[in-house]
Structure 1
Amino acid sequence: MKELDHVALRDPLISTENGDDKLEDVSKCFGCREPLANYTHFSPYRGFNLHEKCAEIPFKLNHVCHRKHPLILQFNSERLSCKICQVTRRRGFVYGCSSCKFVIHIECLSPSPIIKDEGHQHPFSLLLRQVPFICDACGTEGNHVAYTCGTCNIIVHKNCISLPHIIKSKWHDHRLLHKYFHHIEDFRVLYCIICHDEVNTEHGSYYCSKCNFIFHVKCVMKDEALYEIVENEDDESPNESASSITKVLQRNDAGEATVIEHFKHSHHLMLSDGVGEYDNKCCDGCLLPIVASFYYCTQCDFFLHKDCVELPKVKHVWHHRCGPPLILTSNEVFLCVKCDCFSNAFAYKCEECEDYTCLRCIIALTPGVARTCLGHKHPLLFFFEYRGRCVACGDDNIKGLFRCKDCDFSLHHKCYSLPIISQHKSEEHLLSLAYNDDNSYSESHFCDVCEERRDPKLSFYHCATCDTSAHVNCVLGEHPFIKLGSIVEVQEDTHEHPLTVVKKIYYYPNCSGCGKPCLDLALECTGCNFIVHARCPSDSED
Structure 2
Amino acid sequence: MESKNYGHQHPLLLLLNEDQLLVVANCSRCGEVVSTPCFSCAEKCGFYLHKVCADAPFELNHPFHLDHPLLLTKNPGYPTEYYCNFCGKDDDNFVYHCSCELDFHIKCALFTFNIAENNLKELEHVSLQHPLISTENGDSKCFVCWEPLAKYTHFSPDCGFNLHEKCAKLPFKLNHGCHRKHPFVLQLNSQLLSCKICGETCREGLGVVYGCSPCKLAVHIECVSATLDLVVEDKSHEHPFNLFPRRSSFICDACGTEGICAAYICCTCKIMVHKNCTLLPRIIKSKWHDHRLFHKYFLPDEFRSSDCTICHDEVDPEHGSYCCSHCNITFHVHCVTEDKDSYSIVSLENEDEMPNESSISVIERNDAGEATKIKHFKHMHNLMLSPFVGGYENSCHGCMLPISDPFYYCSECGFCLHKACAELPKMMNVWHHDCQEPLALISDKVFKCEECWDVSNAFAYECCGCERKTCLRCVNALSPGARTCLKHEHPLFFYRGHEGKCNACGQPTDGVLRCKDCNFELHIECFSLPITARHKCDEHLLSLTDHDDNSYSKSHHCDICEESRDPNCWFYHCATCDTSAHVDCVLGKYPFLKLGSIYEETGHPHPLTIVKKKYYYPDCDKCSKPCEDVALECSKSQCKYIVHWNCVTPRSLQF
| Shorter-normalised TM range | 0.7 to 0.9
Residue in structure 1 matched with residue 495 of structure 2 by the alignment:
383
State the Cα distance separating 1:452 from its structure 2 match: 4.6
Q: 1:391, 1:409 within 8 Å by CA — same for their partners in 2? A: yes
Q: 8 Å contact 1:436–1:459 — kept in the other structure?
A: yes
Output the CA distance in 2 between the equivalents of 1:516 and 1:228. Answer: 56
Which amino acid is 1:318 matched to?
W
The partner residue of 1:207 within 297, 316, 323 is 323
Counterpart for residue 83 of structure 1: 196
Q: CA separation in 2, counterparts of 1:59 and 1:393?
A: 50
Structure scoring higher RCO (CA < 8 A, sep ≥ 6) equals 1
Q: Secondary structure at the match of 1:311?
A: coil
Letter in 2 for 1:254: A
| Contact 2:607–2:635 under 8 Å retained in 1 | no
**Structure 1 residues 58 and 359: CA distance shift in structure 2, 3 A:** closer
1:284-295 paired onto structure 2 within 5 Å: 284-295=397-408
| Secondary structure of 2:118's aligned partner | helix
Which amino acid in structure 2 is aligned with residue 50 of structure 1?
H
Contact 2:303–2:329, Cα closer than 8 Å, also in 1: no
Query: Structure 1 residue aligned with 2:386, among 272, 277, 283?
Result: 272
Q: What is the SS of the residue equivalent to 1:194?
A: coil
**Aligned pairs (5 A) from 1:200-279:** 200-236=316-352, 238=354, 240-245=355-360, 247-276=361-390, 279=392
CA distance in structure 2 between the aligned counterparts of 1:477 and 1:29, rounded to whole angstroms: 53
Rounded Cα–Cα distance in structure 1 between residues aligned with 2:117 and 2:567: 67
Q: Residue in 2 aligned with 1:327? A: 440
Provide the rounded CA distance (Å) in 1 between the counterparts of 2:341 and 2:514.
26
Q: Which runs of 5+ in 2 are unaligned?
A: 1-115
The residue identity in structure 2 corresponding to 1:130 is R
Aligned pair count?
Answer: 519
Alignment partners' CA distance in 2, 1:408 and 1:133: 34
Which amino acid counterpart does residue 3 of structure 1 have in structure 2? N
Which residue of the partner structure matches residue 526 of structure 2? Answer: 415
The separation in 2 between residues aligned to 1:287 and 1:270, in whole angstroms, is 19
Corresponding position: 1:168 with 2:282? no
How far apart, CA to CA, are the structure 2 residues paired with 1:342 and 1:96? 49
Structure 2 distance, partners of 1:206, 1:147, is 20
Tell me if 1:198 matches 2:308: no
TM-score, normalised with respect to structure 2: 0.69
CA distance 1:422–1:185, change in 2 (3 Å): same
1:336 to 435, 442, 449: 449
| Pairing partner for 1:459 from 544, 550, 570 | 570
CA–CA distance in structure 1, aligned partners of residues 293 and 162 of structure 2: 44
**How many angstroms does 1:195 deviate by?**
1.6
Moved more, 346-355 or 54-63: 54-63
Q: CA deviation at 1:434?
A: 1.0
Relative to structure 2, which stretch is displaced further, 24-33 or 208-217? 24-33
Q: Which residue in 1 is equivalent to 2:544?
A: 433
1:275–1:290 contact (8 Å) kept in structure 2: no
1:501 aligned onto 2:613: no
Task: Flag the 1:498–1:204 CA change in 2: closer, same or farther, 3 A.
Answer: farther
Contact 1:76–1:91 (8 Å) recurs in 2: no
Task: Give 1:293 deviation, angstroms.
Answer: 0.6
* Identity fraction in percent: 54
Write the mapping of 1:110-189 to structure 2, written as runs, cut at 5 A: 110-186=227-303
Does the 8 A contact of 2:177 with 2:247 survive in 1?
Answer: no
Between the aligned partners of 1:337 and 1:26, the Cα distance in structure 2 is 31
Which runs of no fewer than 5 residues in structure 1 stay unpaired? none
**Equivalent residue of 2:535, what SS?**
coil
Pair 1:487–1:127, CA change in 2 (3 A): same
| Structure 1 position 44, deviation (Å) | 3.4
- CA–CA separation in structure 1 for the residues paired with 2:522 and 2:306: 24
Q: State the alpha-carbon separation in 1 of the partners of residues 129 and 530 from structure 2.
A: 71
Distance 1:191 1:251, change over 3 A: same
Residue 556 (structure 2) aligned to one of 445, 467, 485: 445
Q: Distance in 2 between matches of 1:433 and 1:26?
A: 54
- What one-letter code is carried by the residue in structure 2 that aligns with 1:243? S
**Aligned counterpart for 2:130 among listed residues 11, 14, 17:** 14
Shift of 1:284: 0.6
Per-residue CA deviations over 1:489-527 (Å, capped at 9, x if unaligned) read x56x9679765323465334535xxx8879343445535
The 3-state SS of whatever aligns with 1:430 is strand
Query: What per-residue deviation string (whole Å, max 9, x for no partner) do you get for residues 80-106 of structure 1?
Result: 654321342566786777877564534
Equivalent in the alignment of 1:473? 584
CA RMSD, 1 decimal: 3.8
- How far off its partner does 1:264 sit? 0.7
Tell me how far 1:76 sits from its aligned partner. 3.9
Change in Cα spacing, 1:517 to 1:119, as seen in structure 2 (3 Å) is farther
